[in-house]
Amino acid sequence: MANITNIPAPRVPFIDERTGLISREWFRFLNNQFTLTGSGTTATSIADLEVGQALSPDTDDVTAVLQSEIQALQIAPTQYEPNPVNYGQFYDTTTQTAAAINTAYAMKFNTSSSRYGVYVDPANNTHIKVTRPAIYNMQFSLQLDKTSGGTGLFYVWGRINGVDIPDSASQVRIQGNNAEIFVAANLFVSMSNGDYFQLMWSVDDTSVQILSTAAAAPVPAIPSVILTMTQVYI
């Protein structure tokens, strides 16, 4: 017996672009289905064609089944809850000074205001550590001051595990007695478990310092350094 269904290939469009009507292949397919099911004269009932439990003519039963199916469709998919990102904010409430010029010093942090997965090493308050390997955005702000006249240079850069981060340094020129300057910058750093980050600094004049100022109404206290670190990529 010949196959009279002539199911069109998936690539055949349902609508013929030339005529705007149903395509010939799809018309033949649908017409053959109509013929195979008796051309409207078959004695097959809708109940015979049902898949699953037959519907009772009782209205309450029909309603119950429909409501059950609707509720099943309304079940929300499982919500994805990502792990919280690591973050930390740290600052220091003391004025930090350099004992010698052209010498690298690591900035100290004596306070953590908020953190998750990022912390100051209890054994070394210049080390910022993380609990998850990731890329982190490290941002810092400094309050610089000069205690004598003349001009001084201040340098700041990042260091990971005791190794300077290439191309991470900035230079600030500060001039005159009590010439406060605010400095801020950020770096993206890649860190793993056990790694530690340090914010380094150096001066060519020891009268340049990182200044901490007590609160004086209406202004709150000014830390010498504020550092935040936020995970941006796993």
Q: Confirm whether pTM is higher than 0.75.
A: no
Return the pLDDT at 77. 61
What pLDDT, in 10s, does the model give residues 7-47? 555 667 778 777 778 878 778 877 777 777 667 676 666 55
- From 89, 100, 118, select the one nearest 227 (Cα to Cα): 89
Residue 71 in domain: no
Q: Is the pLDDT of residue 196 over 80?
A: yes
Assess whether 203 and 115 both reside in one domain: yes
Residue 47 in domain: no
- From 107, 114, 81, select the one nearest 209 (Cα to Cα): 107
What pLDDT, in 10s, does the model give residues 114-165? 999 999 999 999 999 999 999 999 999 999 999 999 999 999 999 999 999 9
Contact 127, 113 (CB under 8 A): no
Return the pLDDT at 148. 93
Assess whether 122 and 198 both reside in one domain: yes
Assess whether 96 and 184 both reside in one domain: yes
Domain count along the chain: 2
Assess whether 120 and 27 both reside in one domain: no
Return the pLDDT at 103. 98
Return the pLDDT at 35. 75
Q: What is the mean pLDDT of residues 203-214?
A: 97
What pLDDT, in 10s, does the model give residues 66-99? 666 666 655 656 665 666 899 999 999 999 999 9
DSSP assignment of 131-196 equals SS-EEEEEEEEEEEEESSSSEEEEEEEEEETTEEPTT--EEEEEESTT--EEEEEEEEEEE-TT-E
Assess whether 99 and 197 both reside in one domain: yes
Pairwise CA distance, residues 32 & 131, whole Å:
66
Q: What is the dihedral of CA 43, 49, 52, 53, to 10 degrees?
A: -30
> Which pair of tokens denotes residue 187?
């770096």
User: b/e string for 8-46 if b means 16 or more Cβ within 10 A?
Assistant: beeeeeeeeeeeeeebebbeebeeeeeeeeeeeeeeeee
Pairwise CA distance, residues 115 & 90, whole Å:
8
Assess whether 38 and 124 both reside in one domain: no
CATH number at residue 145: 2.60.120.40
Structural domain for 105, as ranges: 87-233
